[in-house]
């Protein structure tokens, strides 16, 4: 069941109004990571609440309590905004997630225009903080609702909404809310599937459905020796230097070609099946795409399938930096007393933080013992999250594929994300239903960067895609 032609026409003829509304949303600097902007996040919640109410959605702003700051202080969390419309037991129920908070942005960071004024460029770029992450997609759903409200049309499915204002700051408070509301009697109970629009196409050309995410496990290796920083003139070649030990350990973790050298970590991952390889082969992607987005010819792989699997279905280990060492410009002859090396591993099934952590700790401790250093080593596991892969032949995905064909006239690319979107796992675990990641924006949108943009065509066709997806959900066999 395709969407009514009337809906598609409505979206086209209201495009300017939709863009204006996106401008209103971008104008509220709802930066969750800056205390000074916390009330703007709250303002954004209220703005969105009014918009949803105006198109017939029943809403509830949920107080999530206080955030505990690093200094021990408390800051009120912005509310989560829950919504629902329709309760026809004959229709499927779709739960939609989005976030109305944004990353920090300042003109001085290198923006060509004020980040909180949406600028419509001739080439179609709608530039502003939050345009693509994640106000654009949220407003896409609002556009769909607008049509049905204005035309007094029933939606083809029952909808539930979960919009949060802390996504860019760790989704404080959301996990508990989702678990609670997924119980019988809860707001989300009875959802048949979930759709999240908060990631991106692989490139600038081909629509994407995403069925997997890598997990993460983050470590800090602490090496300490002297009771204070020492001068290398006085102590060089006299004492065991923590930096020498730490660099030796960090140098044993990963090879230049990305292979993880911690015994047991790579071995845990099964080789790809022929069916999987065929998916990667089909993807609209090239080594040039990597190099263009990295801004340099530094791709590890020569081969597209290897490159895609490196990003999506193999684990990776990145060395992020060192805390406690000299990190300024110039030349300082210090022997730092205590240094902490930071690295993280992106995980794929069947890896989990719980399975990986003992391998990492055992390996680092045995390598440290080989150094015969008199310094001390502590391996700290900072945080982690499981990887996620779902069935991309599920009816939720089939509906999205049909919608993509209808709107974009092509098959979507089936991707796994190299990064994590933790809320995906929260919904999958709490509700036990299929979760679809249905991105609106392109791979070059620069979500957390300067000059973040959403292309006009992605916003408008993306609105059609979201609406059509709901009609296809209604039609697809469960």
| Range 70-109, binding a copy of itself (CB under 8 A) | 70
Tokens of 43: 């303002």
CB under 5 to 8 A by kind: which of Zn ion, a copy of itself, none does 271 bind?
none
Peptide bond preceding 134 in cis form (omega within 30 of 0):
yes
Q: State the Cα–Cα distance between residues 10 and 4, nearest whole angstrom.
A: 10
Window contacting a copy of itself (CB under 8 A); options: 82-90, 403-411, 415-423, 464-472: 415-423
**462 closest CA partner among 135, 228, 223, 102:** 135
Asked if residues 183 and 51 have their Cβ atoms less than 8 Å apart, the reply is no
Rule CB under 5 A: is residue 455 a binding residue for Zn ion? no
> If contact means CB under 5 to 8 A according to the sort of partner, which of Zn ion, a copy of itself, none does residue 322 touch?
a copy of itself
Binding window for a copy of itself (CB under 8 A); candidates: 12-20, 171-179, 413-421, 465-473: 413-421
Least distance to a copy of itself, CB of residue 364, Å: 14
Q: Which of 101, 134, 455, 472 is catalytic?
A: 101
277 binds a copy of itself (CB under 8 A): no
CB of 134 to Zn ion, least distance (A): 4
Judge whether 167 counts as a catalytic residue.
yes
Site for a copy of itself in 287-306 (CB under 8 A): 290, 293-301
Decide if residue 461 touches Zn ion (CB under 5 A). no
Sequence-distant (6+) residues with CB within 8 A of 107 are 113, 114, 115
Chain positions 126 to 145 lying near Zn ion, rule: CB under 5 A, are 133-134
| Alpha carbons within 13 A on the beta-carbon side of 475 | 15
Check if 6 is active-site.
no
Q: How far is the CB of 119 from a copy of itself (least distance, A)?
A: 21
| Angle at 193 (CA atoms; ends 170, 85), nearest 5 degrees | 90
- Residue 134 contact, options a copy of itself, Zn ion, none, Cβ 5-8 Å cut-off depending on partner type: Zn ion
Q: Is 286 known as a binding-site position?
A: no
Residue 285 and residue 308 in contact, taking contact as beta carbons nearer than 8 Å: yes
Question: Interface residues for a copy of itself in 366-395 (CB under 8 A)?
Answer: 371-375, 382-383
Q: How far is CA 224 from CA 198, 234, 336, 341, 379, in A?
A: 41, 18, 9, 11, 12
117 or 318: whose CB is closer to a copy of itself? 318
Q: What is the DSSP letter of 60?
A: E
Kindly report the number of other CB atoms within 10 A of residue 267's CB atom: 9
Query: Among residues 54 and 300, whose Cβ is nearest to a copy of itself?
Result: 300
Beta strands in 165-229 (DSSP E): 193-196, 208-213, 215-224
Q: Rg (Cα) of the chain, in Å, rounded? A: 24
The answer to whether residue 458 forms part of the interface with a copy of itself (CB under 8 A) is no
> Would you call 205 helix, strand, or coil by DSSP?
coil
Distance CA 68, CA 85 (A): 34
Q: Which stretch binds Zn ion (CB under 5 A): 138-146, 197-205, 250-258, 376-384?
A: 197-205
Q: Detail the residues annotated as belonging to a binding site.
A: 99, 133, 168, 198, 231, 333, 346, 420, 448
Q: Which residues are catalytic?
A: 101, 167
Q: Detail the residues annotated as belonging to a binding site for Mn(2+).
A: 99, 133, 168, 198, 448
């Amino acid at each position: 069941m395709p969407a009514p032609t009337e809906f598609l026409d409505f979206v086209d003829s209201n495009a300017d109004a939709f863009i204006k509304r996106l401008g209103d949303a971008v104008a509220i600097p709802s930066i969750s990571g800056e205390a000074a902007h916390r009330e703007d996040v709250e303002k954004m919640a209220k703005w969105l609440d009014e918009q949803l109410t105006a198109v017939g959605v029943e809403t509830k702003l949920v107080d999530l309590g206080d955030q505990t700051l690093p200094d021990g202080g408390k800051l009120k969390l912005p509310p989560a905004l829950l919504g629902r419309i329709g309760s026809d037991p004959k229709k499927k129920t779709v739960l939609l997630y989005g976030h109305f908070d944004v990353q920090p942005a300042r003109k001085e960071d290198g923006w060509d225009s004020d980040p909180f004024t949406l600028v419509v460029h001739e080439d179609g770029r709608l530039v502003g903080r939050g345009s693509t992450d994640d106000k654009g997609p949220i407003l896409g759903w609002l556009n769909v609702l607008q049509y049905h409200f204005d035309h007094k049309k029933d939606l083809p499915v029952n909808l539930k909404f979960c919009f949060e204002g802390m996504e860019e700051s760790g989704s404080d408070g959301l996990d508990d809310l989702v678990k609670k509301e997924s119980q019988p009697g809860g707001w989300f109970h009875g959802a048949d599937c979930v759709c999240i629009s908060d990631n991106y196409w692989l490139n600038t050309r081909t629509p994407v459905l995403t069925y997997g995410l890598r997990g993460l496990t983050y470590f800090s290796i602490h090496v300490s020796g002297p009771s204070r920083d020492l001068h290398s003139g006085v102590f060089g070649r006299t004492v065991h230097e923590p930096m020498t030990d730490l660099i030796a350990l960090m140098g044993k973790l990963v090879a230049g070609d990305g292979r993880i050298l911690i015994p047991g970590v790579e071995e845990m991952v099964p080789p790809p099946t022929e069916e999987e390889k065929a998916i990667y082969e089909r993807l609209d992607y090239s080594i040039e795409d990597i190099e263009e987005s990295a801004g340099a010819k530094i791709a590890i792989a020569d081969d597209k399938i290897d490159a895609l699997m490196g990003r999506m279905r193999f684990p990776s280990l990145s060395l992020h930096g060192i805390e406690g060492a000299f990190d300024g410009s110039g030349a300082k002859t210090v022997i730092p007393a205590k240094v902490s090396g930071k690295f993280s591993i992106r995980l794929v099934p069947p890896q989990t933080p719980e399975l990986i952590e003992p391998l990492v700790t055992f390996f680092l401790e045995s390598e440290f013992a080989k150094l015969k250093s008199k310094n001390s080593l502590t391996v700290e596991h900072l945080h982690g999250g499981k990887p996620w892969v779902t069935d991309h032949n599920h009816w939720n995905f089939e509906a999205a594929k049909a919608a993509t064909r209808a709107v974009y006239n092509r098959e979507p690319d089936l991707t796994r994300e190299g990064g994590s979107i933790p809320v995906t796992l929260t919904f999958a675990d709490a509700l036990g239903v299929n979760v679809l990641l249905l991105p609106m924006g392109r791979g070059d949108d620069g979500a957390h960067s300067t000059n973040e943009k959403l292309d006009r065509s992605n916003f408008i066709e993306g609105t059609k895609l979201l609406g059509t997806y709901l009609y296809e959900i209604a039609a697809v066999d469960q």
